[in-house]
A and B are shown apart, each in its own frame.
Chain A
Amino acid sequence: MSEVSLTVNGRRVSASVEDRTLLVHFLREHVGLTGTHVGCDTSQCGACVVHVDGKAVKSCSMLAAQASGSDVMTIEGLANGGDLHPVQAAFKEHHGLQCGFCTPGMIMTTVDMIARHPEGLDEATVRAELEGNICRCTGYHNIVKAVLAASKTMSKASKGKAKKAA
């Protein structure tokens, strides 16, 4: 057994779990956050993407014990109360989902992607960066639109902040 101790969405959580427990199962079954999905279970589909220490990872391919001591952010940690995160808002606005199963992973991947590309994004980059996330409703067209829109909103917001600070 492993004593796993994590910060999840800003909250300290600890549990004693079997060493083989995957991070995604820890989050869903021990912490009770079921927004992170298990899709393919073979580390290809990306429905399980969460952020560990600020980086997008597939939580079905990491043991909870490997993540112990880390800071984890899940889809539940994005919205600020009733206010959607700009990426969530963009997916809603541009209909970047149909059944919604892949959406938590798509959104966590997108937040990470936008953070890694402060210079902005173009369609080719977005499509390449979404390589590890699969949507079986074939909704990529609107997903890409949503990512590009969110990227624009967020760069405007950060420029606004920079202006205020200056």
Chain B
Amino acid sequence: MYSVNYHRAASVADAAKLAKGDAKLVSGGMTLIPAMKTRLAAPSDLVDISRIDALKGIKVSGKTVTIGAATTHYEVATSDKLAKACPALSHLASMIGDPAVRHRGTIGGSIANNDPAADYPAAMLALGATIVTNKRQIAAEKFFKGLFETALKDGEIVTAVTFTAPAKAAYEKFRNPASRYAIVGVFVAKGADGVRVAVTGAGDDGVFRSRELETALAKQFDAAALTSAKVPARALMTDMHASADYRAHLIVVMARRAVAAANA
């Protein structure tokens, strides 16, 4: 790791002041610290936002769920309130990394990093979530911009995510047997404004919604509706783990399993 200056921010305003130039925000650091160790990342400064109370916790008010950016995967996975409002998201969080990673990694960190195989971006897109920053509110649709790219500007800090609890939802992922990252992950959600299907791990340009599967499920929210469904392989990733054609096939299989789980 290259030399770095560490700062512990006392508040979001304090963090925004410190996060200038080549500084990076750090919360759990489950991606950033390993990236710094291998010198893939070399920020001049680290601004630690993990101990800011205003960024922590899960609130459920009626159907509205709000999760603070510095809430860990473990807290999301074990929240009683969330298990009632949106168990699919608790389940998703329980499948990220391993127990020690879940104790440190945060939802804000995951979405701000926007790894093309991360789990949370698919949930945010399928739930039609709003990403709240210290400056504005951004629809998930406009937030995720491609591989490791988001709509966040310099000095902008994700403070929370908020969404309306869906009537039904589920997440299924097909893991790489070694890294355990999603080769394909599919989050389906049926809410007041219809069915949304978001796919992670597979897109050439990061997380995306599958209009083909959404159309099929809008008619009938049942795994059977996807029996002859097809997803085009053209915008999917091919790498040493899976070809685009294989990923296209897996998306439909994961979507079928997710719909069955959502209906169970």
**CB-based contact B98/A2 at 8 Å:** no
Contact size class for B?
20 to 34
A66 to B30, CA, bound (A): 12
In the assembled complex, A112 has its CB within 8 A of some CB on chain B: yes
Contact of B97 among A18, A60, A68, A132 (CB under 8 A): A132
In the assembled complex, A78 has its CB within 8 A of some CB on chain B: no
**CB-based contact A20/B29 at 8 Å:** no
Contact of B1 among A20, A65, A131 (CB under 8 A): A20
Q: Which residue of B lies closest to A41 (CB)?
A: B37
Contact of A131 among B4, B48, B99 (CB under 8 A): B99
Map CB proximity to B onto A53-93 as digits: 1 under 8 Å, 0 otherwise.
00111101111011010000000000000000000000000
**CB-based contact B99/A129 at 8 Å:** yes
Q: Which residue of A lies closest to B48 (CB)?
A: A66
Contacts of B2 in A (CB 8 A): 20
Residue among B1, B29, B101 with max Cβ neighbours from chain A (10 Å):
B101
Q: Is the interface of A mostly helix, strand, loop or mixed?
A: mixed
Q: Which of B1-37 contact A (CB under 8 A)?
A: 1-6, 8, 26, 29-30, 33-34, 36-37
Map CB proximity to B onto A11-43 as digits: 1 under 8 Å, 0 otherwise.
000000011101000000000000000000111
**CB-based contact A56/B34 at 8 Å:** no
In the assembled complex, A49 has its CB within 8 A of some CB on chain B: yes
**CB-based contact B3/A109 at 8 Å:** no
Contact of A132 among B5, B37, B100 (CB under 8 A): B100
Q: Which residue of A lies closest to B34 (CB)?
A: A43
Contact size class for A?
20 to 34
**CB-based contact B98/A20 at 8 Å:** no
Contact of B3 among A20, A62, A66, A133 (CB under 8 A): A20
**CB-based contact A49/B33 at 8 Å:** no
Please list the residues of chain B having a beta carbon within 8 angstroms of any beta carbon in chain A: 1-6, 8, 26, 29-30, 33-34, 36-38, 46, 48, 50, 74, 97-101, 103-104, 180
Please list the residues of chain A having a beta carbon within 8 angstroms of any beta carbon in chain B: 2, 18-20, 22, 41-43, 46, 49, 55-58, 60-63, 65-66, 68, 109, 112-113, 116, 129, 131-133
17 residue pairs A–B, Cβ–Cβ below 8 Å: A19-B6, A19-B46, A20-B36, A22-B33, A42-B34, A42-B38, A43-B30, A46-B98, A49-B100, A56-B100, A58-B101, A61-B34, A62-B33, A65-B6, A68-B8, A109-B100, A131-B180
Known: A43-B30, A63-B6, A66-B6. 18 other contacts (CB 8 A): A19-B46, A20-B1, A20-B3, A20-B36, A43-B33, A55-B74, A58-B100, A58-B104, A60-B37, A61-B33, A62-B29, A63-B29, A65-B6, A65-B8, A109-B99, A116-B99, A129-B99, A132-B98
The 7 A-B residue pairs with the shortest CB-CB distance in the complex, in nearest-first order: A132-B98, A19-B6, A131-B98, A55-B103, A65-B6, A20-B1, A58-B100
